[in-house]
């Protein structure tokens, strides 16, 4: 197959949701359609039910599962589909944010009864800022939930999206009769039998077709007619370009558990979702069909088995073909590296591959060369943008609890930070180390991993920080900036890249500081000038 055709047939996307909305169930049903798995229950949920670190550790110990489900690839309708897994647990949100830098589109799953939940809001905001094309799937239609119009209103309000339904439910919960496909003008009747579900599709000429009454009963048919009239009056026509530009979000309804509406979603996705897109590097915009290979590391997975210290770096191929046993330039280290056993991912396994194309994810064994955000190329000096750090929510001093193991601690902390488990800051005044995390759970994870993988013990000490703000000034020698540095010296730190960070101890103090120093900008994201760019 030609290189360009290989690119055109790839769809790399992520499924995002608030925990329990049905992401795992939907993923599994998509894989069933792809024939990638044979039975339901094959995809293990990697969510952390009780929110305890021990659960996380247990999951991590089952390396096979969590590494293999990081990327789930399958073939459907002659398309190569790569689903990138995103942890739903909020303490691992940063991991999800980074994964979103490697997707070309997303599907957002919303529970019809719960509506828009907190985690969904945060994740969709990141997608919106990056103009990632979004499809919305409203799940659990077999249960009583919110009215479809109210829910779409809520999505528009809370998520600042502009939606257009491409399918519409006929009834809901106990009364769910089926789903009407607005584009293909057919009705899928709900029987509750998940295996045969997608075989109950009947085409109708238009909504006045009496076949509709036969299928769902006159009452439901009339309600649907009224509702579709309303849909056509309120919502814009679907326009693919607007969807691709992140300006219009198509909505599908269904029940992942009953495999209902999932095929409509998948077929709709295949038809409209983008193939791998161009990506901005600091130097220039890189097109997927360029001959030379380039890619970037968006995730690093550590091996928890202390006998195997190697890690797996996940590289998204942006352009060209990644080939096994070929030397590529690690731009940050200015070093050529060859990979003899790059992994490709399939539904439940990973395998060594000779070639990977734009849109694909390759897993590279790494003994400590990679950091999140690193770029690999065929030789060109490129730096991919857009893997920012967000201000952590929790901050603690990290102290060495075993003076004999200070080297191990330093190495462990260093490597865990490279993996993106948390962020490390060094206070300017006294050099003390501060760990910042998105969730409290990570502190336990770090402690556990330091002990089990590096033989080091650490102790934490509380630190009252509201937000870490990356400091941005046009003039480092201005009187205002120098005064800021002097007055706030106690609250200044550097992140791992050496960028200056201000620890605001409350929203109020941040506001006061901003008022006092109007020329200084305080950002909650490390790549402040780049977040809007893809």
Contact 329/379 with Cβ under 8 angstroms? yes
| φ/ψ of residue 464, rounded to 5 | -90, 100
**With respect to ligand G4P, which residue has the nearer C-beta, 176 or 331?**
176
Name the one residue in this structure whose structure tokens are 């006294």: 430
Give the span between the Cα atoms of 187 and 373, in whole angstroms: 46
Is 142 a known ligand-binding residue?
A: yes
- Minimal distance in Å, beta carbon 430 to ligand G4P? 43
Binding site for ligand G4P (CB under 6 A): 17, 19-25, 45, 47, 88, 139-140, 142-143, 255-257
- Minimal distance in Å, beta carbon 21 to ligand G4P? 5
**With respect to ligand G4P, which residue has the nearer C-beta, 65 or 353?**
65
DSSP class of residue 456 equals -
- Minimal distance in Å, beta carbon 299 to ligand G4P? 19
- Minimal distance in Å, beta carbon 477 to ligand G4P? 51
**With respect to ligand G4P, which residue has the nearer C-beta, 142 or 418?**
142
Is 165 a known ligand-binding residue?
A: no
As given in the structure block, the two tokens for residue 265 are 């979603």
**With respect to ligand G4P, which residue has the nearer C-beta, 65 or 337?**
65
How many CA atoms lie within 13 Å of 152's alpha carbon, on the beta-carbon side? 21
Strand order in the sheet with 327-330: 335-338, 327-330, 375-377, 294-302, 311-319, 361-366, 343-345, 350-352
Is 152 a known ligand-binding residue?
A: no
- Minimal distance in Å, beta carbon 109 to ligand G4P? 6
Beta bridge partners of 366: 311
**With respect to ligand G4P, which residue has the nearer C-beta, 27 or 356?**
27
Name the one residue in this structure whose structure tokens are 């558990």: 257
Burial class (CB in 10 A: 0-12, 13-18, 19+), 226: exposed
Listing DSSP states for 52-73 in one string gives: -HHHHHHHHHSHHHHHHTTEEE
As given in the structure block, the two tokens for residue 410 are 């330093």
Is 20 a known ligand-binding residue?
A: yes
CA distances from 191 to 168, 198, 259, 312 (A): 17, 10, 11, 44
Is 417 a known ligand-binding residue?
A: no
**With respect to ligand G4P, which residue has the nearer C-beta, 47 or 63?**
47
**With respect to ligand G4P, which residue has the nearer C-beta, 257 or 344?**
257
SS3 267: helix
- Minimal distance in Å, beta carbon 194 to ligand G4P? 10
Is 160 a known ligand-binding residue?
A: no
Is 23 a known ligand-binding residue?
A: yes
Give the span between the Cα atoms of 409 and 348, in whole angstroms: 35
- Minimal distance in Å, beta carbon 195 to ligand G4P? 15
- Minimal distance in Å, beta carbon 265 to ligand G4P? 12
Give the span between the Cα atoms of 18 and 1, in whole angstroms: 39
Is 140 a known ligand-binding residue?
A: yes
**With respect to ligand G4P, which residue has the nearer C-beta, 69 or 343?**
69
As given in the structure block, the two tokens for residue 428 are 């300017």
Is 452 a known ligand-binding residue?
A: no
Helix, strand, coil fractions of the chain, as percent rounded to 5? 30, 30, 40
Which residues are annotated binding-site positions?
17-24, 85-89, 139-142
Which residues are annotated binding-site positions for GTP?
17-24, 85-89, 139-142
């Amino acid at each position: 197959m030609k290189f360009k055709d290989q690119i055109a047939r790839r769809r790399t996307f992520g499924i995002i949701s608030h925990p329990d909305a049905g992401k795992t169930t939907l993923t599994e049903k998509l894989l069933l359609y792809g024939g990638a798995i044979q039975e339901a229950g094959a995809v293990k949920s990697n969510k952390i039910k009780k929110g305890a670190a021990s659960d996380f550790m247990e999951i991590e110990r089952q390396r096979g599962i969590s590494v293999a489900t990081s990327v789930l690839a399958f073939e459907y309708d002659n398309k190569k589909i790569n689903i990138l897994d995103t942890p739903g647990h909020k303490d691992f949100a940063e991991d999800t944010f980074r994964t979103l830098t490697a997707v070309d589109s997303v599907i957002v799953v919303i529970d019809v009864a719960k509506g828009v939940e907190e985690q969904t809001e945060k994740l969709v905001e990141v997608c919106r800022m990056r103009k990632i094309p979004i499809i919305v799937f409203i799940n659990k239609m077999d249960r009583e939930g919110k009215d479809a119009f109210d829910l779409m209103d809520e999505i528009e309000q809370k998520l600042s999206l502009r939606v257009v339904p491409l399918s519409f439910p006929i009834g809901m919960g106990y009364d769910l009769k089926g789903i009407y496909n607005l584009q293909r003008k057919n009705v899928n009747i709900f029987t509750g039998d998940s295996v045969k579900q997608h075989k109950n599709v009947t085409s109708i000429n238009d909504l006045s077709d009496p076949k509709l009454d036969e299928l769902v009963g006159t009452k439901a048919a009339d309600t649907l007619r009224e509702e579709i009239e309303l849909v056509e009056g309120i919502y814009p026509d679907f326009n693919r370009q607007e969807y691709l530009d992140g300006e219009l979000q198509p909505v599908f309804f269904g029940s992942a558990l009953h495999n209902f509406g999932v095929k409509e979603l998948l077929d709709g996705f295949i038809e409209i979702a983008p193939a791998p897109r161009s990506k901005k590097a600091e130097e220039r915009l890189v097109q997927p069909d360029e001959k030379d290979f380039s890619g970037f590391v968006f995730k690093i997975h550590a091996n928890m088995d202390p006998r195997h210290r190697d890690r797996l770096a996940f590289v998204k191929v942006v352009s060209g073909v990644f080939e096994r046993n070929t030397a590529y330039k690690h731009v940050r280290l200015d070093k050529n590296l060859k990979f003899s056993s790059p992994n490709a991912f399939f539904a439940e396994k990973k395998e060594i591959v000779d070639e990977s194309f734009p849109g694909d994810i390759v897993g590279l064994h790494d003994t400590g060369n990679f950091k999140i955000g690193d770029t690999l190329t065929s030789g060109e000096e490129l730096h991919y943008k857009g893997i920012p750090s967000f201000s952590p929510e929790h901050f603690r001093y990290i102290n060495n609890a075993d003076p004999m193991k200070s080297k191990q601690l330093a190495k462990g902390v260093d490597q865990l930070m490279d993996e993106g488990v948390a962020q490390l800051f060094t206070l300017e005044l006294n050099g003390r180390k501060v760990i910042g995390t998105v969730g409290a759970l990570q502190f336990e994870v770090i402690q556990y991993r330091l002990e089990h993988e590096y033989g080091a013990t650490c102790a934490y000490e509380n630190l009252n920080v509201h937000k870490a703000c990356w400091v941005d000034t046009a003039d480092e020698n201005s009187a205002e900036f120098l005064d800021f540095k002097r007055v706030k010296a106690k609250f200044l730190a550097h992140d791992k890249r050496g960028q200056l960070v201000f620890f605001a101890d409350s929203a109020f103090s941040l506001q006061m500081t901003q008022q006092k120093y109007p020329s200084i900008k305080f950002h909650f994201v490390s790549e402040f000038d780049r977040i809007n760019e893809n």
